[in-house]
Structure 1
Amino acid sequence: MRGCAITLFLVFLFPAQVASGVEQCEAGDSVAVLVSPDLVIAGDPVRVLFASEAPLADVRVSAGSISGACEAVIVAQGGGPPFWVAVNVPSAPQKDFEVRLVGDEIAACMAVRPGQWTPRPKPRKGAWPVQRKWERGTENLYSAWLEYLFLVPEGTFWRPLHQVLRDPARNLLINHLGMGEDDPATGLRLEPDCADNPYTLRAYFAWKLGLPFGYSGCDRGGKRRAPSCTTFTSNLDAGTSRAPLKAASRFLRQVAGGVHSASARTRLKDDRTDFYPVALRRNALRPGTIFADPYGHTLMLVRFVPQQAGAPGTLLAVDAQPDGTVAVKRFWRGNFLFVTDGVVGEPGFKAFRPVVQDGGKLRTLTNEEIAPHPDYAFFSLEQQGMSTTDFFDQMDRIINPTPLDPTSAYRQLHEALHEQLLTRVQAVENGELHHRQGGVSPIPMPTGLAVFQTSGPWEDYSTPSRDMRLLIAMDSLLDFPERVVRTPGAFSIPSGTTPDRVRSELLALRNEWWDEYRIEYLRSDGSRFELTLADIFARAEALEIGYNPNDCPEVRWGAPARSGEISTCRRHLPPAQSRLMKQYRSWFHERRRPSW
């Protein structure tokens, strides 16, 4: 990193904690640094996160004080952009010490003064005081923190979100403020659904670092009108409390109750929103970028795994389900739906609008302010009116710049579908647990569009949206061999063969793989029943009416009538719900979720 400039974005709330020797650390403007906990105590572990726009490859870390060197270990690195390195100092020295990230020359340096813990002062106004600002450095730290938090294999899940935030191996900001805010007994309880999840993570990070945060009050739109927002509520507008943890917890609950699935589907050109649209480019699709699908589901990007020789690239995201499950999922047509015709609002990839102080109040930047801003040069309207085909073709080129071998791409689709089925296994079991534990039974079924979006037990345990995405995913996999024939230029077809021959080879592999990939679901009597991928595809029509949690799991997985598999079924739909299911079946059969 020869010649780079470095600015250290200090996370300390008390200037006395920064050692007097900080000026000895060579500084510039390209690396942001986060140190946790907020007040370092001698003998306690210290976590340091470095984040940069430029690669941080081939670096090493060192730490030491006037008393000598101390142990410092790189525990993970990733990106990017942003590129990042996470460092652990197992035991802070008694004296002032420095943590240096070193390449060909010093890349970044942080000087730290251990002190005695004192509680964070209660906010004079709002849920927490604003002590830092959003800029490229803090945005990069946010992205890096998210990537490290969810640096786990695809398919990993927690229920609810606070389970991962309470994991010291995952959360670099765990108990950062020294008030036991992430302890199971006394800490935050964070149980967001898909709409709340991005807001909750952004607000959590902002609270820990003293950054501004806010959310808009939006309606849900109408038949010919996108959702729009009117009010804006920030952390400074929230009620204060004598206990800082209580104030933050109350505000986070207020955020969860104030946002909904339409909050992210506002018009791309609209300024009075919480998100702005970003370009479909690799450097714009960073951890923390959200994806709003046209039907109300929201995901948040957490990691980009670049394409390598023999291995396809992968874009990973997290989402939350109504039952509180938070899971890591890959980008593909089965998880990300993109349609711009005949839907309410405008879907796509979007980023949180920066919240800034202006005249003593907090507000969000407008599109006109964001577009030329050196820290936020990702604003773009290219997704507006984009066709589904063009969108996914563009994303395929971003994730895999080199055309994929058709066999590898086909295998990747099978893996993605298998992961999707495994998450459904868990979702169906959550519904069964509700009934076994004496929950409301039968669960009332809403009518019309509310089947996809309501509140209460139906929202928590039914799976209409999940099953719609599953059926679309199955169609995508079925179509893939034909897609190779239609668009051979999108793939790396071996010389000496033809697209038609590749299709035949893929169909042969399909028979093999459909027996290889399997799931097990829990039947009504507690026994496990195994299904192959071939079984699942044979039951596609039955899955069109498998989303009602009042049905037994055997029915929800499409068990044939009068089979041994169905013999353990002990629960059936009320007749009125059965009639509604038949009435709505065409939506699932046609893979066409009504938008109004």
Structure 2
Amino acid sequence: MIFRWRKAAFLFLCVSIAAIGIGSTAYAQDARWRITKERWSEADEKAWQDFVAALGAADCWTFDECIKSPANPYRHTDPKTRFYVDCADMPYVLRAYFAWKNGLPFAWQSAMRSADGPGGDIRYSAYGNEVAARDSVPRTANGVNALSVLHGLVNVVSTAMFRRHSMDDDAVLFTDTYSPRLDREAIVPGTIAYDVNGHASLVWRVESGGRILIFSSHPDHSLSRTHLGREFLRTGPELGSIFQKFRPIEVVGATRASNGALVGGEIVGVPNAQIADYSLEQYQGNPPGDPRRSHSASWMWNGENLDFYTYLRSRLSVGELEYKPVEEMRMMMQSLCFDLRSRKQAVEIALRRGIQNMDPPSRLPDNIYGTHGVWELYSTPSRDARLKTGFKEMYDLVVEFVKMDMVDAPRLDYDGNDLPGDLLAAYHEENAACDVSYVNSAGRTVELSIDTIIDRLYDLSFDPYQCIERRWGASGAELATCRDGAEKTRWYEAQRYLRNQIDRTYDVDMGYTIESLERGPWGIRTGRGVEEGPEVDIRAYLEGRAARRTASGEIANPPATP
């Protein structure tokens, strides 16, 4: 079966024209897409990288805000319009927008079919997808309406577009993207990071220490920024994870009109073998093995056997990878603070729509992580799972830093003599600097912090039908202003085990009633959640290490001997 992906009616407006006189001269001038270049040059690709990097660094919290911000040098040439995109749309719409503004060709996969066979959801196919049809921006002397093209893209694109075999190399039905090398020359701003659990982001910066900063849009149109971590699962090449870059294309056989526009011709994709940074490294490992046996890949770097994520950072670091533990923890906390601010935007969007005042459905969606309608737009189970994974990753890494310090590991760059104490001091400073709050049901502001969130991480409700207090995990006196009745309270309690789960299971039936959730059993493959979430309380861990250090008679930061 071939899927020409179409989203529900409420997503049909993902790129909409707001109150424009379509026949106006200004609109006709600003919205025409004339293709004047046969291919993307190196200079165009570098400009694309700079464009994405600037938007990623901007202080904006929706795609529309970013496009209209000073970070976008083309904003003054846009007709009056608003942009609404989700995570899958963003890489395509942003690439198309840039192509429009620079007279560049653009083409895309317009239909996909599952390699699993008929039926099923192509966003989560077990064996990936195949390209069934392609489309491109027409080459005409007068150009085409660019906003119509962007609008059409939003109705076609889904994460199914990224879920395709990285070794495919069809000359006609070629894939839009390819698998790049894992180094600083290849993993650059504008590179796509695809999470096979149904999420796509764009790289906007690679730091000197190898950390990859990403940003993405969401179904509620809010924008989030974080760093790429272990929540992005590495799979075999058939599913296309993790890294993808837009394939070079060129216009062949066109003629040039008197105004410089290319007319006619066809779009040709550059084959994998002719792309300078094409590589199956993320599947083959190092030294290279069989990409079809990616589960057994090994990762050697400078004679050391590493896990994939440490290898990735080593490859992307300037010089040898060294962990500066205090700096690392500060950066992780700052990233988590960004995530919390982004979550606040998402929750507030649901509140403004009044979803918390609606009666909840009688059962959960078939799968809370991959669904449609109100739940897809306004719930946050996937976002919250990534947030919890971020907290767990910070906890695990800090524990590892302390262990590395105890054996004086060469990869650890730390010259002090009280790492737990220094980490704890940095934790308190970053916690104080993270300003997160919400306005409760009575209209009063409630201040939160990273420390507060850690204490209630598994109490944060992902359910948009519940009150703002429960969305932020309130209890005791803080919960008193919540106006949820008995039914919503019962739903909240029944969803506790789902909130404990940080692994997103898109292939598990989860369409349960309250009674089914309450009965159990619980476990990762039950669709009802798990009984306990992983440990994330970094403050308690560091305080415990400091207490043991004091009890053992060690002196933290002793004064210098005269």
Q: TM-score higher than 0.5 here?
A: yes
Cα deviation for residue 196 of structure 1 reads 0.2
Q: How far apart, CA to CA, are the structure 2 residues paired with 1:567 and 1:440?
A: 17
- 1:418 paired with 2:327, answer no
Residues 444 and 381 of structure 1: CA distance in aligned 2, closer, same or farther (over 3 Å) = farther
Q: How far apart, CA to CA, are the structure 1 residues paired with 2:130 and 2:469?
A: 42
Match of 1:250 among 145, 148, 151: 148
Q: Which amino acid aligns with 1:170?
A: A
Cα deviation for residue 130 of structure 1 reads 5.0
Any residues of structure 2 matched to 1:169-318 within 5 Å, and which? Answer: 169-176=70-77, 182-183=78-79, 187-216=80-109, 217-219=111-113, 220=122, 224-236=126-138, 247-271=145-169, 272-306=174-208, 315-318=212-215
- The answer as to whether partners of 2:330 and 2:427 remain within 8 angstroms in 1 is no
Match of 1:592 among 493, 503, 519: 503
- The answer as to whether partners of 1:518 and 1:532 remain within 8 angstroms in 2 is yes
Cα deviation for residue 265 of structure 1 reads 2.6
Gaps of 5+ in 1: 1-116, 177-181, 308-312, 371-376
* SS of the residue 2:396 aligns to: helix
Identity %: 28
Residue of structure 1 equivalent to 2:277: 378
Residue of structure 1 equivalent to 2:484: 571
Gaps of 5+ in 2: 1-25, 114-121, 254-264, 284-293, 300-305, 508-562
Q: Greater CA deviation, 505-514 or 355-364?
A: 505-514
Residues 173 and 341 of structure 1: CA distance in aligned 2, closer, same or farther (over 3 Å) = closer
* SS of the residue 1:357 aligns to: strand
Q: How far apart, CA to CA, are the structure 1 residues paired with 2:489 and 2:453?
A: 27
Any residues of structure 2 matched to 1:417-496 within 5 Å, and which? Answer: 417-435=336-354, 441-442=358-359, 444=361, 447=364, 450-487=367-404, 488-494=409-415
Residues 443 and 353 of structure 1: CA distance in aligned 2, closer, same or farther (over 3 Å) = farther
Q: How far apart, CA to CA, are the structure 2 residues paired with 1:229 and 1:418?
A: 39
Residue of structure 1 equivalent to 2:512: none
Superimposed CA distance per residue, residues 416-475 of structure 1 (whole angstroms, 9 cap, x where no aligned partner): 212211211221111111108xx9824658745632123332222111111001111111
Residue of structure 1 equivalent to 2:535: none
* SS of the residue 2:185 aligns to: helix
* SS of the residue 2:282 aligns to: coil
**What is the count of residue pairs matched by the alignment?**
434
Q: Which amino acid aligns with 1:527?
A: R
Q: How far apart, CA to CA, are the structure 1 residues paired with 2:502 and 2:31?
A: 52
Any residues of structure 2 matched to 1:140-159 within 5 Å, and which? Answer: 140-152=46-58, 156-159=59-62
Residue of structure 1 equivalent to 2:251: 357
Superimposed CA distance per residue, residues 240-284 of structure 1 (whole angstroms, 9 cap, x where no aligned partner): 998x57x22111111111110121232221233211111111111
The Cα RMSD (Å) is: 3.5
Residue of structure 2 equivalent to 1:340: 234
Residues 556 and 118 of structure 1: CA distance in aligned 2, closer, same or farther (over 3 Å) = closer
- The answer as to whether partners of 2:234 and 2:242 remain within 8 angstroms in 1 is no
Q: Which amino acid aligns with 1:338?
A: F
Q: How far apart, CA to CA, are the structure 2 residues paired with 1:332 and 1:303?
A: 11
Any residues of structure 2 matched to 1:75-94 within 5 Å, and which? Answer: none
Residue of structure 2 equivalent to 1:6: none
Instruction: Name the one with the larger strand percent.
Output: 1
Using CA pairs under 8 Å that are at least 6 residues apart, name the structure with larger relative contact order, 1 or 2: 2
Cα deviation for residue 338 of structure 1 reads 2.2
Residues 326 and 128 of structure 1: CA distance in aligned 2, closer, same or farther (over 3 Å) = farther
Residues 166 and 282 of structure 1: CA distance in aligned 2, closer, same or farther (over 3 Å) = same
- The answer as to whether partners of 2:193 and 2:243 remain within 8 angstroms in 1 is yes
Q: How far apart, CA to CA, are the structure 1 residues paired with 2:201 and 2:166?
A: 17
Q: Which amino acid aligns with 1:296?
A: G
* SS of the residue 2:268 aligns to: strand
Q: Greater CA deviation, 337-346 or 414-423?
A: 337-346
Residue of structure 2 equivalent to 1:537: 454
- The answer as to whether partners of 2:105 and 2:249 remain within 8 angstroms in 1 is yes
TM-score between the two structures when normalised by the length of structure 1: 0.65
Q: Which amino acid aligns with 1:351?
A: K
- The answer as to whether partners of 1:215 and 1:232 remain within 8 angstroms in 2 is yes
Match of 2:219 among 318, 322, 330: 322
* SS of the residue 1:323 aligns to: coil
Residues 449 and 363 of structure 1: CA distance in aligned 2, closer, same or farther (over 3 Å) = farther
Instruction: Name the one with the larger helix percent.
Output: 2
Q: How far apart, CA to CA, are the structure 2 residues paired with 1:592 and 1:121?
A: 45
Residue of structure 2 equivalent to 1:366: 271
Q: Which amino acid aligns with 1:301?
A: V
* SS of the residue 2:251 aligns to: strand
